[in-house]
Each structure stands twice: as C-alpha cells, then as structure tokens.
A and B are shown apart, each in its own frame.
Chain A
Amino acid sequence: MKGAETFFVDLARAIVNGLENMGMSALGAEIILLIIKFACIAGIVTVNIIILIWLERKISGFIQLRLGPNRLGPWGVFQTIADAIKLLTKEDIIPSQTDKIIFRTAPIVFIIISLMLYVVLPFGDGMAIVDLNLGVLYFISVGSLGTIALLMAGWGSNNKWSLLGAMRSVAQMISYEIPLVFSLLAVVMIAGSLNMSDIVNAQDKIWFVFLQPVAFITYFIAATAELNRGPFDMPEAEQELTAGAYTEYSGMRWALFFLAEYTNLFAVSALTAIMFFGGFKGPFLPSWLWLPIKAYIIMLVFFWLKWTLPRIRMDHLMAFSWKVLIPVTLANLVVTGCVLHFLK
C-alpha cells in the first residue's frame, strides 16, 4: 500500500537520480523531468478525453432511454477513437472570407490554454507538476483566457452566427468570473493559502463543502457557466446560433475545440474536488486515484444537469449573475470573514 501511494513520486525521484548519476547537472535533470511530466499530462488528457466523450454519450443515451454508442468494441468504447480518426482525415476547410491567421490560431490557443490548467493541479500527495504558491489564482486567470480563443474563433470566422456566439461567450465569462472568484475566496480564507496542496491538506478533518455550502453552490453554477456547458451553453446554442462560435469550423480544427472543452471540463471538475471535496485525500486507495474518482463523479453531475435542463436566456443569465450570484457570494465572503475573525 505504501509503495502504491508514493509510486509516481518515487518514479520521478528515480528518474532524476538516474539522470544525475549519468553525469547531468541537477537543473538539467529537473528540466528533463518537467518535459516528461508535460508529455505525461498531454497523454493522460487525451486518453481521458476519449473516455469522457464516450461516457457523456453513454450517459446522455441512458438518460434519454437510448443505448448510446454500442457498436465499436465492447459497449462502444472505441467509438470516440473512430470519430477522432474520421475528424483527422477530413478535408480541412477554411472559408475564403475568414481572417486566416486568427481562424487558424484560435483552436490552438484554446487547447493550449486548457492544457495549461493542469500544471498546478495536485494529482496526488506531492504530485503537482509545479506546486505554485498562487495555484488557485493561476488556475482562474489562465482559465478565463479561454474567452479570447472563443472571441478569436467568432471574429475570425467572419460569420454573424459565430460573432454572436463569441459575444455571448465574452459577456458570460466576464459576468461569471466574479462569482467564481468570490466563491473560491471563501475557501481560500479558511484554508489560509492559495496553494492547492495546502488547501487539500487543510481539508484533513472536514471537507470544505460542509463548511461552505453556499460557496459550493454558487461556485458550481458559475463553473458550469464558465465551462459553457448546458444549461449555460450560450456560445454554442445549436438550436439558436446553429453552432455559435464553431459554425465555420470543421474537421480537426473543430475537434480541437471539442477536445479543449472536455479538457476544461475535467480540469474544473478536478478543481471542484480539490477545493470542496478534499482533493486527493481519501481512505484505502492511493491518493492519485482519489482525485480522478472525485472528478469523475462531479463530471457525472455536470452531464446530468446538461441533459436535463433547458438553456437559459442570455439576459436572464446576466441578470442571475449580477443580481443574485454576486450579492450572495459577497455576503458569504463577509460572513466567512466575520466568523473567522471571531474564532481567532
């Protein structure tokens, strides 16, 4: 059990030691280890997305009394791979009236930003790639950059639907960034640190979801909006904007957007687990299994919400953020601050 718990940490240490024994400087070994870690993240994310997309299709099918993909492989698990191959081999269409540079870079920017989120996540005890002191701040600030990619896609496509989708996405992200940060701040105040590992360790005795139920609910709503998932999937809104910002994209470029969305989804679910559900802490199983388990359960809730609820209207969405979420989160912050002050 002890070996399983520290398996990856030991492995990393062994690699560094091995490199140093081969006559490499300590810095060089660290850099090579970092590169290996990034490659691992990219691999894990890709495999994870393939499972995620399959899972979402399966869950949505079950909710809708369908069977979901079930032809390719056992229970259709290879369906996503087949889809990916199909998308990769599709003709790359760039409409003639687009702003070519922006149109091409938008999906790349989006996927890079979503991959950057994984850098600070502690996947296990001492298993963050970079254990930043400002982890939470980094996550939020990088996460909100995704809007720029969507705006680029919307503007570069030179399509009215895309532009409308992009504008919606900007308005939505700006509004929901604030309650998101305020909700997380309440947790940060209790933990007394912005470092994610510290926040997890602070939940040794009790999960923050029990200390901060209001912050959890507001965070969850704001996170759904941040992820552009139903019922807040305004930028896509296929019934209204055909496909919103992605209207002109096809083939692999579109697939990159799709990939990035699911990458974001897993990252945000992991963040939820870290901030409110004790992250990698859990009994029996090694710590690096607990975070994915918790993140997957949270993702199932995201799926469940998306496949049940109708899409909210744009102005209601904005009003809900500014008139309900922000006052509630602010009040929550004040209460938390007062309680903490008196407890001290």
Chain B
Amino acid sequence: MWGSGILKGLGITFKHLWERKITEQYPEERPKLYPRFRGRLMLNPEKCIVCGMCVKSCPNNVLSFTEARLKESKKKVLTSYTIDHQYCMFCNLCVEACPTNGLYFSHDFEWAAFKREDIKTVYEPDLTGLELLALEEGEKKSAEKEAEDKLLKGVNAMIAAIKKNPARALSKVVESEEEALKLSEILGDDESKIKKLAELMVSDKEKAAKVAKAFLIKGQKKEQEG
C-alpha cells in the first residue's frame, strides 16, 4: 500500500537491469537442440521396404511414393519418395509407424525457401544396373485382363444356366416365374439374344431387367399379331 508495491516493482526491474541477458544471439549462437528435436523429416532410402505404412499413418498427406519390382527377384523397390514439408505437423506418427526406422527427424531447422516447391524433398534412389518390371503398367494390364476373364467366365456360366433352367435364371431380371418362362420362350434358341442378356445380367442388372421387359413386350405384341 501507499506506493510500496510500486517501489518493490521498481526494485525488481532495477535488479534485472544489471543481470545477465537471456537473449540468444541466433545466427552466431546456435540453439541447444535436444536429441528428440524434430527438424526436417528425412528418409533413409536404403532402409525403405516400400510397405506404405508411413503414407497410411500420415494425417495430412505429406508423404507419397512410387514403386517398382525387380525383374528377377520380384522384390519391391522405391523409385521416388516425396515429402511435402509444408503440410507436415511433425507429429512423429510416420516415424513411429516405420518398421525399419527408415524415416527420422533431423536437427535441421533452417529451411527457408523462396518457392513453395523448394520446400518439398524428393528422394530418387539410384537404380542403375537393376532391371525393373514396369510394375505399375504391368499390374494394370494384368488386372484389366483378369477382370475381362472374370466377366467372360460369368457370362458363359449365365448362358449355361439360362439354357439349363430358364425359369430360375431369368427370374432374377423379371418379376415372376411365369414371366421368366415366357421370356425363355421368346428368346428361344436365339444365341445372340441370350448372350446379350447374359452379359447384361452379369455386368448391369438394372439394364438387364429393362432389356428383359422390352423383350417381353415385343413377344406379347408378336403373339397378339400372330
């Protein structure tokens, strides 16, 4: 009271006036970094086994990579690995997820750049001398082929089913069994029509139902005329 508090405060500031200063003279004086300091996220490409755990664990889509297979051993290898640091939250989740400790935080904290693209780090491991399968392309082709094969198999099975038990097979596209029987009569032995309907039944059921209905109406008209 009566100014004693003010005087105490003045005493404290006066004391600090002569004390050692706590300013860290940054560019000359380097900050003390602790072992766990999270600076720039780095990858040791040699350790990478291309498992993709880091990409799955990242909350902010910082990481992405491309891969290929070796021609002989069919082993996966890394072709490029991109770390887009501008989205990184330094949360350590990818480092924890990495099974081989290939990802780590360095102590590098000075990474000002003039362009956004410069913040990105792209690793392109040296793959000369290794024969690679063009993995992505090859896989895509085989996948397409597989799907085609699957479709063909399904269609053949469906055609067989229609021929064998038309009531049961066709009741999937029409409303009742009677209609199914009628449809089978209309279709008769017309292979091309059966094949078309079977294809549709495998790939697109709704369209198949529509086509079946159209066949029915056509058949009814023919009956009435005949």
Contacts and interface: CB of A to CB of B under 8 A. Distances in A.
Chain A–chain B contact at Cβ < 8 A: yes
A62 B17 contact: yes
A67 B21 CA distance: 7
A36 B211 CA distance: 109
Contacts of A66: 21-23
Contacts of A309: 6, 9
B165 interface: no
A308 B10 contact: yes
A138 interface: no
A305 B23 CA distance: 23
A174 interface: no
B55 to A, nearest CB: 44
A307 B22 CA distance: 18
Nearest to A70: B25
B19 interface: yes
Contacts of A220: none
Contacts of B13: 63, 304, 307-308
Contacts of B21: 61-62, 65-67
Interface in A47-99: 59, 61-67
Nearest to B6: A309
Interface string A285-327: 0000000000000000000110111000000000000000000
A61 B17 CA distance: 8
B150 interface: no
Interface in B2-27: 6, 9-10, 12-14, 16-19, 21-23, 25
B17 A59 contact: yes
A304 B14 contact: yes
Interface residues of A, number: 13
A59 B10 CA distance: 14
A234 to B, nearest CB: 18
Contacts of A308: 6, 9-10, 12-13
B9 A65 contact: no
A9 B105 CA distance: 72
Contacts of A67: 21, 23, 25
Nearest to B24: A67
A59 B16 CA distance: 11
Given A305-B10, A309-B6, A309-B9, A63 B17 contact: yes
Contacts of B10: 304-305, 308
B19 A65 contact: yes
Contacts of B9: 308-309
B6 A63 contact: no
A322 B72 CA distance: 96
A304 B12 CA distance: 11
Contact of A65 (B6, B14, B23, B25): B23
Contacts of B16: 62-65
Contacts of A304: 10, 13-14, 17
A63 B14 CA distance: 7
Contacts of B22: 65-66
A66 B13 CA distance: 12
A63 B21 CA distance: 9
Contacts of B19: 65
Contacts of A64: 16
A61 B23 CA distance: 10
Contacts of A59: 17
A309 B12 CA distance: 11
Interface string A90-132: 0000000000000000000000000000000000000000000
A66 B25 CA distance: 10
Contacts of A305: 10
Contacts of A62: 16-18, 21
Contacts of A61: 21
A40 B25 CA distance: 39
B219 to A, nearest CB: 82
Nearest to A300: B17
Interface string B41-53: 0000000000000
A256 B6 CA distance: 32
A38 to B, nearest CB: 37
Nearest to B15: A63
A64 B15 CA distance: 11
Shortest 9 CB-CB contacts between residues of A and residues of B:
A308-B13, A67-B23, A65-B22, A63-B13, A62-B17, A308-B9, A66-B23, A67-B21, A308-B10
11 contacts: A61-B21, A63-B13, A65-B16, A65-B22, A66-B21, A67-B23, A304-B17, A307-B13, A308-B6, A308-B9, A309-B9
Given A65-B21, A308-B13, 4 more contacts: A62-B17, A65-B23, A66-B22, A309-B9
